[in-house]
Amino acid sequence: MRQSSVAFVVTVAFILFVAFHEPVCATNNYLWGEIGANDYKLAKDTVKKAFFVGLVQTKKYVFKQSDNLDALTITAIQITDKKKNNGATAELTSGGPGSKGATILFNSVRGYGINDVVEIWGR
């Protein structure tokens, strides 16, 4: 083989190695509803819970508005997972888009913590 052919084969082999062995960055981002142009950000909170070896961490996030007479209707809930790997899952257990409040349950991967940002939009 010529030197340029060897360099080409080595380069292709390296690219294939990186492509198949690079860890996949799987985050658990969620969007329930739709954020409209006229929507207001009602809340932005960070939900955190430290890891504990061998355990699944859970945390409940509750959004309530103080005055039901002036309460806005939720149009969207956006959750951004701040962990690059082994992020927590989120489940909307009550409320959400179309209602005045929401409850979200976060569950971590066993042995990992929770680090998510919750943004609630409404009008």
Show the tokens assigned to 97: 């888009």
Q: Write down the mean pLDDT value for the chain.
A: 86
Q: Cα separations (Å) of 23 from 20, 54, 109?
A: 8, 22, 17
pLDDT over 90 at 20, yes or no: no
The verdict on pTM exceeding 0.95 is no
Show the tokens assigned to 75: 């149009």
Give the model confidence (pLDDT) of 40-49 as tens digits: 999 999 999 9
Show the tokens assigned to 103: 């409850």
Distance CA 10, CA 6 (A): 6
Query: For 1-123, where are the alpha helices, taking DSSP H only?
Result: 3-21
